[in-house]
Structure 1
Amino acid sequence: MSQTKVRKDQKLLLLQKKRSKRNLTEILMESIVKPMFGDNITTIGSKIAGLLFIIETLRRYLPGQLKITIQELLFNAIQRLPFFKKCSDKTLVFFSPYAQIRFREIEEYRYNYAYSAIKTYLGAQVNSQVKNLKGSLVKGRKSLDFKRDDDKVEDEYEGVKLWWEVLKSTAGVKMCRLTFHRSNWEVVTGPYLRHVVEEGKSIEEKKKKVKLFMNNPSSNWKMQMKNLWSSIEFEHPATFDTMAMDPEKKEEIMSDLLGFRDGEEYYKKIGKAWKRGYLLHGPPGTGKSTMIAAMANLMSYSIYDLELTSIENNWELKKLLLATTSKSIIVIEDIDCSLDLTGEREVKEDHQSNAEIKKEKKKNAVTLSGLLNFIDGIWSACGQERILVFTTNHLGKLDQALIRRGRMDMHIELSYCRSYAFKILAKNYLNLDSHPLFDEIEILLEETCMTPADVAENLMVKDGESGVDGSLKGLIRALEQLKSNHHKKKKVEPTFK
């Protein structure tokens, strides 16, 4: 066999391999577009007419979503030609009778509520013709909840056909894409999209679930805002009815919360951002976390539990704020332990070296100034209907600038268990409204400092034989022991003249 023939066979084999790797767009370009757009410019008019005929045939006889997909392949093939690369947008407008609108989950660093409403609306399009569904059982309900589980949904509104696609880019960006005929522009961008968003919001409101969010460490963040927070359903049973505290104080707090919820017009009138701050302070075990849970259940607001120690700087703190939704409670628990925020914002001692200063700044990059801007600076107005809650066991350790009125609008002290709190706990744990031992217990509670958590723990300890009496007597013994320990401690402590 001659070398010339061998070379020809090798070239033929190489050409076959290249052809086998061609994608559908390249095949379309070669089989349809290139023969139609030859070197002779005088034939372009007749070839365009032929292409339009093909497109019109596709429009009439193929299903909507398949038709759009094939047309997109054709247009992509056309755009690969040198003649059309310079005017690709005009080419697409000329040939395609369709328009598209994209709704991204995160738009300009802020959560897009239209995306959420649209996703809810599309999921609710359930009927006997739908092939893919997903079912779930919501706590407290007996019937299953079904949602549509299709990436592509065809919809119709007042005789207008529309096609939705739920997409996710390689970068992780979630979006919904709507395709429709250009002749229906006014209907789609007007009443149809209003109908979709309103219907989606209505369904969300009916099925609304309170969630608990926690911020992810910044090392796990990607470019998209969705990676900043993780969430689970919030199922804490605490309510203000079951909270062991002064009924008058309880009523005051509830009234303040409900007034905030209904105060949108008032906040607009006075020119303030629609937010409110609550400072919960008191010894450990007095019910600060329970208070937050009761707030969330009363308001049906989700909770964002902000862990400051996992944030590297003030810029990341602002990003976290922007990624929260409205109707939410942003919580920083034990703020006195989270970071060193107790004054001396930027003041450094003269004897400190530059290296020491840099080391300290790196260790604690979230500053008091950054936190103050987070609470009531310009960035705090990027979102509405938010409640901020700080908790601390040591009120005296906090910088007064952090807790002044206007930043923390309401200071709520949660203290040791007294008679009114004990009666609520007795009702909750023992289903008792009165008992002969109540008087003795109430006297001991006034003489000692026992937290509601410790009282509840003693009431939970039951002897199978003694029952309620055993629980109350056990509480009396615990109170007497606490009183005795307090007296012994006072005797041991030295006195100074």
Structure 2
Amino acid sequence: MGKIVKPKFGENITTIGTNIASLFFVWDTLRRYFPHQLKITIEQLLFKAIQRLPFFKKCSDKILGLFSPYAQIRFREIEEYRYNYAYKAIKTYLGAKVNSEVKSLKGNQVKESTPLDFKRDDDKIEEEFEGVKIWWELLKFADGKKMCRLTFHRSDWSVVTGSYLRYVVEEGKSIEARKKKVRLCMNNPSLNWKISMKNLWTSIEFEHPATFETMAMDPKKKDEILSDLLAFRDGKEYYNKIGKAWKRGYLLYGPPGTGKSTLIAAMANLLNYSIFDLELTSVENNWELKRLLIATASKSIIVIEDIDCSLDLTGERKGKDASNSEIKGEKKKDNAVTLSGLLNFIDGIWSACGQERILVFTTNHVGKLDEALIRRGRMDMHIELSYCTFNAFKILAKNYLNLDSHILFGKIESLLEETKITPADVAENLMVKDRESEVDGALKGLIRALEQMKLSQKAKADEQQKENISQI
């Protein structure tokens, strides 16, 4: 019986190497006749087949890397628990590459009045940049994760990782800026949060028509606010020069109905910034507040409306009040949002985690707020929105009645000087169904409302005066 001679380990390596070399030689000959994307697909299948060989299970990546002429770069949507803005820019860039040669498109019309918007709907995209062939794949996995995968020849490494990717990201951001829609975002309760930072906020398209042109406000104050906003928007180099985070705070205060929310809408439409409406009462603690801040986008307006009603942020922790609460069975949370946490949110270290942000507080009672919360440097600009002036009325008359002047304007001007009425109340009186026949009626109705309000306010003032005298 003949003796079986086992081949030596070195001979095995030589044989396997020769076979692989022969296989790649044949493939290199045939690949000239295949389209580029098909060549990559076949090569990937070839490499996967080789990886199944027992010899390559442990060291397949290193060995196959010696044979593969291609390299890959992956851009995941979520990278290290944070949203990858490069992924967003790349996906926007690839989706916008629409021409007659594209076989699969998807159309969208967000409003009836807007034209159709077309985007590519294919998962594999091939393009050429400065003579370099590049292939993209848009991948979505079973667990919901998304990724853009770039494949290119190793010899083109410097071009792809240098000028090409820089061009793609910048072009994608430019397309996003041109097509950007202002959005209104609200924070979700922390019970709904998942690992993805995208679940902290819910958003809808913001469609408020307010502009600075239609704002019923004193023209001088309006110009001051407008100039400040534009200087902030164009101030990137200035903020870098002075070493300060690119953010600004605005405190809007005044009676209800004086236009605080409308001003915020006009700011968003002017700057094309999205609004993040932060509801403090749904935030459990300072840690959650920081997470919400990190998840806001740059070029945004973070709004806390009626901040005096949101939480106890006066800075004064009165023992008597706390005792009364305990007697009534009202226990204060041990781990709640605090004044210190909100101050860090405004201008602490974490507030510099994003750029080009505006923070807006609104209140009807500015005297209730702690001085540390609204000092200059935190709330850089204090804007009082008060009762309707004649200049503000003329803007409302133009908006609602298309009037620049009228014989009744003189009477209205004198009444406005003696009466406290909000722009919202004036607007309510100017709203008419038929502008042609009811203009005079609307103005006369406003005059009647002003006269009644004048009498009512005078009666209250006289009563208050009598009460003050009786207390002396």
TM over 0.5: yes
* Mapping 1:118-133, distance limit 5 Å: 118-133=90-105
Aligned to 2:144: 172
2:316 aligned partner: 344
Say yes or no: does 1:151 pair with 2:126: no
Structure 2 CA distance for aligned equivalents of residues 428 and 456 of structure 1? 9
Cα distance in 2 for partners of 1:218, 1:431 equals 48
1:228 is the counterpart of 2:165: no
Superposed displacement of residue 81, structure 1: 4.2
- TM-score w.r.t. length of structure 1: 0.84
What SS is found at the alignment partner of 1:361? coil
What are the equivalent positions in structure 2 for 1:77-476 lying under 5 Å apart? Answer: 77-137=49-109, 143-344=115-316, 359-362=331-334, 365-461=336-432, 466-476=437-447
Q: Which moved more, 1:161-170 or 1:75-84?
A: 75-84
Shift of 1:496: 2.1
Distance verdict in 2 for CA 1:110–1:347, change over 3 Å: farther
CA distance in 2, matches of 1:106, 1:332: 28
2:250 counterpart SS class = strand
> Quick one: structure 1 residues 256 and 105, their matched pair in 2 at CA, closer, same or farther if it must change by over 3 Å?
same
Q: Shift of the alpha carbon at 1:62?
A: 4.0
Does the 8 Å CA contact 1:217/1:310 hold for their aligned counterparts?
A: yes
Are the counterparts in 1 of residues 400 and 431 from structure 2 also a CA contact under 8 Å? yes
Tell me, in whole angstroms, the C-alpha distance in 1 between the residues paired with 2:60 and 2:427: 72
Aligned partners of 1:352 and 1:108: how far apart in 2?
A: 47
Could you tell me how far apart the structure 2 residues matched to 1:197 and 1:247 are?
41
Q: 2: distance between equivalents of 1:332 and 1:69?
A: 52
Aligned match of 1:496: 471
Q: In structure 1, list runs of 5 or more residues that go unmatched.
A: 1-36
**Per-residue CA shift, 1:205-245, capped at 9, x if unaligned?**
33332222222222222111122222222222111111111
Among 10, 16, 30, the alignment partner of 1:44 is 16
Q: Structure 1 CA distance, aligned partners of 2:232 and 2:435?
A: 47
Distance 1:67 1:316, change over 3 A: farther
Q: CA deviation at 1:185?
A: 0.8
CA contact (8 A) 1:427 1:433 kept: yes
Report the residue type matching 1:212 in the other structure: L
Structure 1 position 471, deviation (Å): 0.2
Tell whether the 8 Å contact from 2:325 to 2:331 is kept in structure 1 after alignment.
no
User: Which one of the candidate residues 428, 448, 454 is aligned to 1:477?
Assistant: 448
Deviations 1:444-486 (A, max 9, x none): 2222221100100110045788511100111111122222333
Pick which of 53-62 and 111-120 moved more.
53-62
Q: State the distance in 2 between where 1:129 and 1:159 align.
A: 19
Change (3 A) 1:216 1:398: same
Change in CA separation of 1:330 and 1:251 when aligned onto 2, cut-off 3 Å: same
Aligned CA-pair RMSD: 3.1
Identity among equivalent pairs (%): 77
Moved more, 196-205 or 387-396: 196-205
Q: After alignment, is 59-68 or 169-178 more displaced?
A: 59-68
User: Structure 1 stretch 400-409 or stretch 101-110: which is displaced more?
Assistant: 101-110
- Aligned-residue offset at 1:303: 1.5
**Contact between 1:278 and 1:390, CA under 8 Å: does it hold in 2?**
yes
Deviates more, 1:40-49 or 1:91-100: 40-49
Q: TM-score scaled to structure 2, two decimals? A: 0.88
Aligned equivalents of 2:325, 2:187: Cα separation in 1:
34
Distance 1:126-1:309 versus aligned 2 partners, 3 A rule: same
Question: Deviation at 1:160?
Answer: 1.9
Q: Cα deviation per residue 1:119-178 (whole Å; 9 max; x = unaligned)?
A: 121112111221211223466976433211222211111232211122234443333111
Number of aligned positions between the proteins: 460
Distance 1:350 1:231 in 2: 37
CA distance in 1, matches of 2:33, 2:296: 47
Kept after mapping to 2: 8 A contact 1:463/1:471: no
Q: Contact conserved, 2:274 with 2:299, CA < 8 A, in 1?
A: yes
Q: CA deviation at 1:339?
A: 1.9
Asked whether the equivalents of residues 345 and 369 of structure 1 are also in contact (C-alpha less than 8 Å), the reply is no
Question: How far apart are 1:385 and its partner, in Å?
Answer: 1.1
